A and B are shown apart, each in its own frame.
Chain A
Amino acid sequence: MGMNSKKEELMGIVGQGNVSDDPACLNGYAQDQSFALPIKPWFVARPQTAEQVQELVKWANATATPLVPVSSGAPHFNGDTVPSATEAVIVDLSGMNKILKIDHRNKIVIVEPGVTYAELQPALEKAGLRITQPLLPRANKSVIASLLERQPTMIPRLNYSLPEPLRVCGVVWGSGEYSFTGEGGMGPRSLEDQWKIGLAQVNQQGPLATDLVRLVTGAQGTMGIVVWASIKCELLPAARKCFVVKAAQLEELVDFCYRLERLRIGDEVMILNRRQLRAVIGKTNGCGCGCGGADWTVVIGLAGRALYPQEKVDVQEHELQALVKEFGLQALDAPPEVAASLLAVSGETYWKVASKGACQEIFFLTTLDKAPRFVKTVEQVAARFEYPASDIGIYIQPQHHGVSQHVEFSLPYNPADKREVEKVKAIYTAASEELVAQGAYFSRPYGAWADLVYSRDATSSRVLRTVKQIVDPNQILNPGKLCF
């Protein structure tokens, strides 16, 4: 089928105004901020309903057309939204941006994939709720995309599993079938009908002996297209206080953080190096970030909600102060801009690219005791390429009650400076290889990481290919990603 015929058929599915082959528009999807090979898609299609998504997937199966789902606005960073196959259609879900339900009683919100953090948090706030979010997400970042990609969230005590707070999804699988995950998978295939019989899409487990939601998380859009998701909310805190604990060496903070996370004191808990703390509060030059010259800072947000909120904060503060004393540390009031960053979305210029215009990230999961060693590895690799260690932003986010830690390195660079681009690319490649060899767990293997990870893990590759064959037999969803 030729391009023109495809365009007509696409317009028949999503509407004339919702298909674009404008070169400028296509170029916007042909590459991102990663080092992924640029490939221009043929069309961008913007479905408005789940039914249109399902029709689109059926059409793609019939015409062997690769589909690349995209929900968030630019800039994209990990190469997962850049087609790896030619003749692809970008499925831009940003127009599906309705908040379908805010269920205050059960603390559940149900959203479509185009709903962004900038839209969702104010709407929840009006209802006295919020969701735990990643650190300063892009304002145009799709909440569903963020959760599907298991971006780390800031409150480890609420993270009962890594996909949290994601609960139940409506998924159009690569086969074109449409089903619900979790508890939603056993009821009627209509949210309205489920609500009528008292189902609230709370439990992510199931249906039956599967956890289908876990097959769409970390999948980079290769298994199915999520057309709505339920997300667990929490009550909006009525009292808050934020502290910082500083140290010259990361090692000095490790035992303290182990204890803090074990006792589940506080809401937000994270470790930032000086560079990253400055970036978070938008200080691209000088210090003034409240780090007091320390290289490492633990940021701890205390919160009280429901009954006696201020007393809840006070008790946590006393427990925190006793704890820091035990470890020979100090907990100081955080500067207001640090406290504010825990609740905010990023400004118009995404904070990670604010200093130099671009930023390459390296991130993985590990345990806290191993984090200092991995920091040294990245610093050593950077030094080999004469990239200043002081330019590397480092962010460590406890997950799953602190059992695992997301460790993230940000390497800012000037995209117009070819030498700098090549240098950062070389660091990214060399550091990733060394980290994998040392046991860093790249649980979200984007781009070049996929080969590094799956070449060492034949079993996961084989099992995932089996699953892919079941849910996307014609391999039309984002082909070329992961081990597919």
Chain B
Amino acid sequence: MEISRDAYRAIEDIVGPEFITDDPAFLDSYAFEWLAELVRPNRSHYMPRPWAVVMPASTAEVQGVTRVCNKYGIKIKPISTGWYHWAAPMKDNDPTIQLDLRRMNRILDIDEKNRFAIVEPYVICAQLQAEVMKLGLNINIIGAGSSTSIVASACAYFGGGPNSYSMGNNSDNLLGQEWVTPAGEIIRTGSLSSGCGWFCSEGPGPSVRGITRGVLGSRGGLGTYTKCAIKLNHWPGQKVLEPKGPPPGYRLEIPENFRVYTIGAPDWDAWVNCYHAIYDNGIGYVFHRQFNLAGADLAAALWLTYIDPKKTLNDVETASKDPAIQKVAEEGRISFQLILAGNSMESIKLQDKVLDAILAQTGCYKVARFCEPDMAEFTNMYMQRLGHKHCNFIWVGGYMGSWMQAGTPDYVRNYIPTAIKGFERDQKSHLLVECGGDATMGCGSTIGGGGYFGLEQFVSYDPNDNDSIDACIKHMEDAIKDAISVGVPAGKEALYLQIGWSDERIWDALSKIPQQFILNFQTKIKDAFDPNYLGDRNYQWIPPGWGQKADAK
């Protein structure tokens, strides 16, 4: 892994000596990644250590560093806020620079009238939201929460969140973007490329953004995104999200033109029908199934304990045995959160009336305890800012999301019983958190206007207990088989496991995708924009002819 000191010196000359390091202590802090233990030898919490960490301050510096990497054959892995183990370098003995973009943290412009903001990659959702809310505007915060980079979700990774139903997925909210390719070229897209401003992501002619955006983006595998413009949406609420009450269950007052509900369903068919009716009636500002991440058996006990300032997590077990809380758990077993917002009082009253009619039609109902002011205000804060992502890890410090195959509500409904049974089965090892078979959560729709989403099964495991890690891996392998048994492709668990696979194993898997056109296309794009193959396989590609090789085996 010894690289010429010349390369180090050349990069140092660009960013300055204080913004490059190969100190192992620093490098390991980048290698330490959530989910690493599921794919690394010896259940290590560490992904491969980067060769150096570099912190550029501008697009020009990113370009300069990229050019040096091309000269010396060093791989490049950009990271802004990071999420999952694939934010780290992929391979041992494959010298990789971790390009940490945290110095590029400016909101460059907020165009209030035309409703877009221009941001650098380390601007996080909470930061931008706080600024635009002062102007009565809001952003779509992705499911991974308010501490995530806007540029990452808009340009390079999944862009869906609780607001995507009303505001659109961030891939659709993306306007102009600036991209430093692995070859070191700066490419700007849409109206920006024509020198006409940041307001449009399409054209001129076909849209260049089409080669890298996709469903999950290139995840740092094909260059570095250094700026983007994001569409802003109307916010009819407070100018400042003033937290109320003691920690950790902060609450947010509910303005008179808002309603905050947790809706329960008697069965999955009613749940699906309710989703369709919400889409058809166009009501709702936030639409998400959030609280069930704690598991259907324990969610009520957890959240009602969480918001009680006199209690701690140690009280959850007792609470879970309380008949009153057990009743809430049953009411909320199949549930989701829905926040209505009106431009006027008339509007919010009508939305309420429509929702009541939908509930009457579908047999769904409001989960009464979760709609009481304390819990509703907590829900409001949780969902409007999505600042509670630490709760994802609340049970034992680690979780892995399986399933989440996306499709129509009926498509999801088809696999949910299998996902539940499978998790129930795997919990019998007593090595995973036993929270009930259903810990599925996800957006009401990941695309604007509704109609498309997946549910992610939150599997909580202890990342410091090898047996628990093994149980989680077993669950992942089981979930893949379970998915195939109901005719759906493997879910997120496969994506996680693949990080630990060899290239050859990944190519074998990719070669089984029924339509190979896309892989051939991406391989040629890779050749064109990353001729030295400095990006990693998060932008998928396959050697020419590999499919035939796999078929011959």
Interface set of A (CB-CB < 8 Å, partner B): 105-107, 150, 158, 160-163, 173, 177-180, 183, 185-189, 197-200, 202-203, 205-220, 222-223, 232, 235, 258, 262-265, 305-308, 311-312, 315, 318-319, 322, 365-369, 400-404, 439-445, 450, 453-454, 456-457, 459-460, 463-464, 466-467, 470-471, 482-483
Contact = CB atoms under 8 A, between A and B. Distances in A.
Contact of A217 (B202, B214, B411, B517): B202
B414 interface: yes
Smallest CB-CB A-B distances: 7 pairs: A214-B210, A160-B448, A443-B203, A179-B517, A441-B196, A214-B207, A209-B214
27 contacts: A105-B408, A105-B410, A106-B410, A160-B448, A180-B515, A185-B517, A186-B515, A187-B514, A203-B215, A207-B214, A208-B518, A210-B214, A214-B207, A218-B205, A223-B206, A263-B234, A307-B277, A311-B350, A311-B353, A312-B350, A367-B199, A368-B113, A401-B233, A441-B194, A442-B194, A460-B205, A463-B211
Given A209-B213, A210-B210, A403-B116, 8 more contacts: A105-B408, A160-B447, A208-B519, A215-B210, A222-B206, A445-B204, A470-B521, A471-B521
B202 A162 contact: yes
Contacts of B115: 262, 401-403
Contact of A162 (B200, B213, B218, B414): B200
Interface string B320-358: 000000000000000000000001101100100110011
A206 B452 CA distance: 14
A214 B205 contact: no
Given A202-B451, A466-B528, A443 B172 contact: no
Contacts of A483: 205
Given A162-B200, A442-B204, A443-B203, A232 B214 contact: no
A202 B408 CA distance: 8
Nearest to A308: B354
Contacts of B205: 218-220, 443-445, 450, 460, 464, 482-483
A209 B217 contact: yes
B347 A315 contact: yes
A210 B194 contact: no
A367 B216 contact: no
B277 A212 contact: no
B107 interface: no
Given A158-B449, A203-B406, A456-B194, A441 B200 contact: yes
Nearest to A370: B197
A232 B193 CA distance: 29
Contact of B407 (A202, A322, A482): A202
Contacts of A460: 189, 193-194, 204-205, 208
B102 to A, nearest CB: 24
A218 B204 contact: yes
Nearest to A212: B210
Contacts of A441: 191, 194, 196-197, 199-200, 203-204
B61 to A, nearest CB: 20
B358 A199 contact: no
A70 B449 CA distance: 31
B391 interface: no
Contact of B354 (A179, A212, A307, A322): A307
A445 to B, nearest CB: 5
A232 B200 CA distance: 21
B475 interface: no
Interface residues of B, number: 92
Given A209-B522, A400-B231, A460-B208, A218 B357 contact: no
A222 B204 CA distance: 14
B276 A105 contact: yes
Given A202-B407, A265-B343, A208 B522 contact: yes
Give the secondary structure class of B's interface: loop
B171 interface: yes
Contacts, number: 293
Interface in B173-230: 175, 185-191, 193-197, 199-219, 221-222
Interface string B433-448: 0000000000000011
B13 interface: no
Nearest to A207: B518
Contacts of B350: 308, 311-312, 315
A471 B528 CA distance: 13
A119 to B, nearest CB: 24
Contacts of B410: 105-106, 198
Contacts of A400: 200, 231
B539 A209 contact: yes
A319 B206 contact: no
Nearest to A173: B517
A222 B206 CA distance: 9
A215 B207 contact: yes
B143 interface: no
Nearest to B212: A209
Contact of A464 (B169, B185, B206, B515): B206
B513 interface: yes
Given A205-B169, A470-B524, A318 B346 contact: yes
Contacts of A199: 407, 411
Contacts of A315: 344, 346-347, 350
Contacts of A263: 234, 343
A296 to B, nearest CB: 19
A210 B408 contact: no
A9 to B, nearest CB: 25
B114 A367 contact: yes
Nearest to B175: A403
Contacts of A444: 203-205
B225 to A, nearest CB: 13
A203 B447 contact: yes
B280 interface: yes
Given A218-B203, A443-B202, A207 B191 contact: no
A244 B449 CA distance: 27
A403 B515 contact: no
B532 interface: no
Nearest to B186: A459
A471 B447 CA distance: 28
A444 B195 CA distance: 15
A311 B195 CA distance: 45
B29 interface: no
B193 A459 contact: yes
Given A161-B172, A312-B350, A404-B200, A306 B191 contact: no
A163 B202 contact: yes
Given A400-B231, A443-B204, A459-B187, A308 B518 contact: no
A407 to B, nearest CB: 12
